[in-house]
Amino acid sequence: MTTFSELNLDPKVLKAIEATGYTSPTPIQEGAIKPALEGRDVLGIAQTGTGKTAAFTLPMITLLGKGRARARMPRSLVLCPTRELAAQVAENFDTYAKGSRLTKALLIGGVSFKEQDKLIDRGVDVLIATPGRLLDHFERGKLLLGGVQIMVVDEADRMLDMGFIPDIERIFELTPFTRQTLFFSATMAPEIERITSTFLSNPEKIEVARQNSTSDTITQGLIQHTPKRRDMTAKDKREILRALIDSEGDKCKNGIIFCNRKVDVDIVAKSLKKYGYDAAPIHGDLDQAQRMRTLDGFREGSLRFLVASDVAARGLDIPDVSHVFNFDLPSHAEDYVHRIGRTGRAGKLGTAFSISVPSDEKYLTAIERLVEKEIPRVESPWSPPGSGNKPASDDAAPEQTEERPKRTRSRGGRGRNKSERPAEDTAAQAAAPEAQADNAAPAEQPAPKRDNAGGGRSRGGRGRSGGQDNRVVGLGDHLPGFIALSFEERREENAG
């Protein structure tokens, strides 16, 4: 087995590696470090978690051991797709560059331009940046790329997914043609192949077999759920997620919850916090300082749950994660292996749960085809209301022992069914015509025409026939008692 001491690395670098506890290089490191130290271009095909960062950081530190940086002209450049991955590369550089005098600068969004300009003005040996922020500094005249000797492109396939390929091409054109290029990607899409054939010169190609199997240290489970209504899918999944966390109890020390969209990352994190779970989101729309605080809190254990998308979590090195929850099944099968690989690392045991709905069927099929086995199905710890578990709202509602009286609607207004009228209403209706007769208009003045001379109902009090009807109209089939009482009082006054 090859050891780091056999790779002709700088003695100071070897001492730093020994301090980390590593002795043997990974396949991608063993294949990339030798040609990189010889000054050749390298094309590495490997996924995150295979040790790519050290594969280019270690030879870069060794090669830059001689020489001195000039103001605004970095000697090497590392491009990363996300702020988090760039920050992780910077941490690796600090770890392996101990004992050397090499300097670095981290150019990422969400951080003050002024502070970054100060670092560039002093001159840096290693510049680690995201494409957008790098070009921002260049266009402001604060950065020159003519002195770049080594250029590294990390996670090129993610660069493609995020639309950075035009920026990458422009940056290549701004650097010297004589530079050494170390190019790493998990896949070789046609666009990636075009770039490598254009900007790399006779590269040494190292391809590590794609990780298509899951670790035996990870216990997997799949909850298949069919919502009663499509618009209830997201709510049901949040209920299932909380029930899963509760069912794991103390075994769930911490966990990463993966969602496919940034909007769902925010919603799930907000929902968990609402129900008392210690959770925080991480995605590209958040302020960089907040993102770093969130990551640091999760690493240190002060934050229990990290809700993230694939892009935000790409390349994160968090060694002690007890659980992974796939709130959404990933649309790319490889991402499933990448996600659950965040737990069960370094020989530790881990647990990964996934929630699937009928619309995920094609994603589930692709994942099981890739890993060449079926994900074990487990029973959902949550049951929707009406499926056997009585909702709490039903328990709180008082029981109705008496059936409500049926009500019927009349043309002139609302009334009760004739068979259910109170006795006093019936008596009042019988007395109503008599009261009307006592208060009728004088004979010389014709009374207004009334509808229903033939006994039919009226519409709003106006009749279509010329006859007269003494019945009260416009109030349904009867006269309410409180109106009849007023007639009784007036009749008594007139009689007196």
With vertex at residue 340, the alpha carbon angle to CA 366 and CA 236, rounded to the nearest 5 degrees, is 75
Q: What is the pLDDT of residue 227?
A: 94
Q: Which of 128-132, 387-391, 456-460 has the lowest mean pLDDT?
A: 456-460
Long-range CB pairs of 162-168, under 8 A, 24+ apart, other chains included: 162/81, 162/311, 164/81, 164/131, 164/132, 165/191, 165/195, 167/131, 167/132, 167/135, 168/79, 168/131, 168/195
Calculate what percentage of the chain has a pLDDT beyond 70: 74
With vertex at residue 168, the alpha carbon angle to CA 58 and CA 149, rounded to the nearest 5 degrees, is 40
* Each residue's pLDDT tens digit, 335-380: 898 889 888 876 789 999 999 999 999 999 999 998 889 999 999 9
Please tell me the distance from the alpha carbon of residue 471 to that of residue 455, in angstroms, as a whole number: 9
Q: Residue 402: is its pLDDT beyond 50?
A: no
Q: How far is CA 494 from the centre of its chain?
A: 80
**How many CB atoms neighbour CB 178 within 10 A?**
8
Q: Residue 397: is its pLDDT beyond 70?
A: no
Q: Residue 255: is its pLDDT beyond 90?
A: yes
* Each residue's pLDDT tens digit, 35-74: 999 999 999 988 766 788 999 999 999 999 888 888 889 9
**How many contiguous H segments (helices) and E segments (strands) does the chain have?**
18, 15
Q: Region 418-434: what's the mean pLDDT? A: 44
Reported confidence tier of residue 76, pLDDT bands at 50, 70, 90: very high
Model confidence, pTM: 0.64
* Each residue's pLDDT tens digit, 82-106: 888 898 899 999 999 988 889 999 9
Burial class (CB in 10 A: 0-12, 13-18, 19+), 210: middle
Q: State which H helix or E strand residue 414 sits in.
A: strand 413-416
With vertex at residue 40, the alpha carbon angle to CA 39 and CA 44, rounded to the nearest 5 degrees, is 125
Q: For the stretch 233-253, what's the b/e string if a residue is b when 16 or more beta carbons lie within 10 angstroms of its beta carbon?
A: bbebbbbbbbebbeebeeebe
Complete domains list, the chain, with CATH: 4-207 (3.40.50.300), 223-384 (3.40.50.300), 409-495 (no CATH)
**How many CB atoms neighbour CB 279 within 10 A?**
23
Most confident among 307-316, 400-409, 436-445 (mean pLDDT): 307-316
